[in-house]
Amino acid sequence: MSGRLQGKRALVTGSTSNIGRAIAEAFGAEGAHVIVSGRNRQRGAEVVDGIRSRGGRADFVQAELDGSAQASRTLAERATSVLGGGIDILVNNAGIFPGDTTPDTDEKTFDQVYAVNVKAPFFLTAAIAPAMTEAGGGAIVNLGSWIVRLGIPMASLYASSKGALETLTRAWAAEFGPHGVRVNAISPGVVNEGAPGEVHPGEIMMKGTPANGMGSPDAIAHAAVYLAGDEADFVHGVVLDVDGGRTTTAVMAR
């Protein structure tokens, strides 16, 4: 790695596994001091130990982002304290995917999905962005989803919540961009961190795409490094598709 985030202080929510973990590890490798955050202390410690073993800086802050403003404020305060006074990069990655049909989704599940996927990042951004503006700038990266733009069954609730987060990305770019805070999003495609040789049902969803297969969490992490770093200083309010061409391109079978 090249130290593209050297000296930056970052908070990555939901970073004890999968995409969030890959982003935290990439940030650490690029020189950032990373706050790994999630519910599971053991898994968080594993991520932190891995980053440190490779020469990076990382700490774990346990958090249950239930959508309440207080939970988001508490995470912001604890992360700021551990980092020594400020957050330069916020990645709103934590989310849940229930995978039910619309008729099978009960009100409790609906409220939980919107609490975790929309309310939690909303109030976390509200707690962190003002301090970024006071410090002269920062970067916020939200995690959307490819199914926001390409409807699939069994995903209406999740897709709508991620659509809300992508809309917030553009609104926040307008709100905070003039004050030096860049806000962008990544729309991951079908991504899996399965074992080698494992056949995942998501593979069929990537047939007929340029990639012709699922992506890795590292592919999303590379995009996050770009959007969080100075190389993207002229990038505001975009949703970057990192989906193997799933939502944009059809490859004709031969």
Buried b (16+ CB within 10 A) or exposed e, 124-163: bbebbbeebeeeeebbbbbbbbbbbbeeeeebebbbbbbb
In whole angstroms, give the CA distance from residue 181 to residue 162.
21
Has 114 been annotated as catalytic? no
CA–chain centroid gap for 156, Å, is 20
**120-135 vs 69-83: helix axis angle to the nearest 10?**
40
C-beta separation of 161 from 117 below 8 A: yes
C-beta separation of 12 from 37 below 8 A: yes
> In the beta sheet, which residues pair with residue 38?
62
C-beta separation of 61 from 83 below 8 A: no
Q: Among residues 215, 247, 222, 244, which one has the least CA distance to residue 146?
A: 247
Catalytic residue among 158, 183, 184, 206: 158
Residue type, 170: R
Residues in the chain: 254
Residue 6 DSSP code: T
C-beta separation of 23 from 92 below 8 A: no
C-beta separation of 93 from 14 below 8 A: yes
Q: What residues are labeled active site?
A: 158
